[in-house]
Amino acid sequence: MREQSKEEYAIVLDFLPHGYPFDTRPMHRKTPIAQAIGKDHFTLLELIPKKGTTLQPNEEVYIGEGKRDKIHHIAGRIHLNKLTETAKGELEFVIRNLVQAKEQKFVDFFNKAGPINARRHQLELLPGIGKKHMWQILEKREEKPFESFKDIKERVSLMPDPEKTVIRRILMEINDEDKYKIFTA
């Protein structure tokens, strides 16, 4: 589908200054851990902050190549079920903010999405969008490309909220509920 892409920035979902509570190592051996989500590809990551650094939920941190001011290294990707309750609670809120901030990117998806194979279209991967909505979207975008989520909702009759639909799809992909990845890495 897409080449492996690295995240440049991440949003902190939770910060554990003393590491995981279930870590049985002695206190002096534990390292602080931040659970975060990548800004571009919604990758769930475990980050190790620099010594003496405190992070706040919803804080944006640089994790790209070169000098990082707050993050020592990326421990790796983590699965949704390894997130703390705090991180899970922040997840949808953070994704909503990221989708709103990059609305045009997602509107472009509605304007450019194509068939996956002879029987299935990328638009049908979005929750609540079946053949009927797909054909309506294709017809309306042919007349004039969509300009915003509001524009999609107004021009496609009985369309589920496009913003919520995109957020639900991203959460499905993070949870590995589908083999197709359209918004996540």
pTM equals 0.90
Q: Which helix (H) or strand (E) holds 59?
A: none
* Three-state DSSP state, 68: coil
Tell me 122's DSSP state: G
In a domain, 17, yes or no: yes
The mean pLDDT of 50-54, rounded to a whole number, is: 94
Using the Cα atoms of residue 56, residue 61, residue 63 and residue 69 in order, give the sign of their dihedral: negative
Q: What does 84-121 look like in DSSP terms, one character per residue? A: -HHHHHHHHHHHHHHHHHTHHHHHHHHHH--BSSSS-B
Specify the pLDDT at position 2. Answer: 40
The answer to whether residue 26 scores a pLDDT higher than 90 is no
Q: Does 147 lie in the same domain as 107?
A: yes
Specify the pLDDT at position 137. Answer: 97
| Residues facing residue 11 across a β-bridge | 37, 60
CATH number at 56 reads 2.40.50.140
In a domain, 164, yes or no: yes
Least confident of 29-33, 45-49, 74-78, 148-152: 29-33
Q: Return the structure tokens found at 75.
A: 């421990």
- Please state the domain count of the chain: 2
Residue-wise pLDDT tens digits, 87-99: 999 999 999 999 9
Q: Does 60 lie in the same domain as 113?
A: no
In a domain, 53, yes or no: yes
Region label for 176, one of left (φ > 0), alpha (ψ between -120 and 50) or beta (otherwise):
left
Tokens 């949870």 sit on residue: 175
In a domain, 41, yes or no: yes
Q: Does 122 lie in the same domain as 69?
A: no
Q: Does 168 lie in the same domain as 120?
A: yes
Specify the pLDDT at position 4. Answer: 55
In a domain, 68, yes or no: yes
Picking from 53, 84, 115, the residue at the C-terminal end of a domain is 84
Residue type, 22: F
CATH number at 164 reads 1.10.150.280
Q: Does 118 lie in the same domain as 77?
A: no
What is the arrangement of strands in the sheet containing 44-49, beginning at the earlier edge strand? 60-62, 9-16, 33-38, 44-49, 71-77
- Average pLDDT over the chain reads 93
What's the rounded Cα separation, in Å, for the pair 104 and 56?
28
Confidence of residue 185 (pLDDT cuts 50, 70, 90): confident
In a domain, 35, yes or no: yes
The mean pLDDT of 40-58, rounded to a whole number, is: 95
The mean pLDDT of 92-119, rounded to a whole number, is: 96
In a domain, 57, yes or no: yes
Specify the pLDDT at position 66. Answer: 87
CA-to-CA dists, residue 36 to 40, 59, 80, 173, 178, angstroms: 12, 9, 11, 16, 22
The domain in which residue 20 lies consists of 9-84
Q: Does 132 lie in the same domain as 75?
A: no
The mean pLDDT of 11-40, rounded to a whole number, is: 91
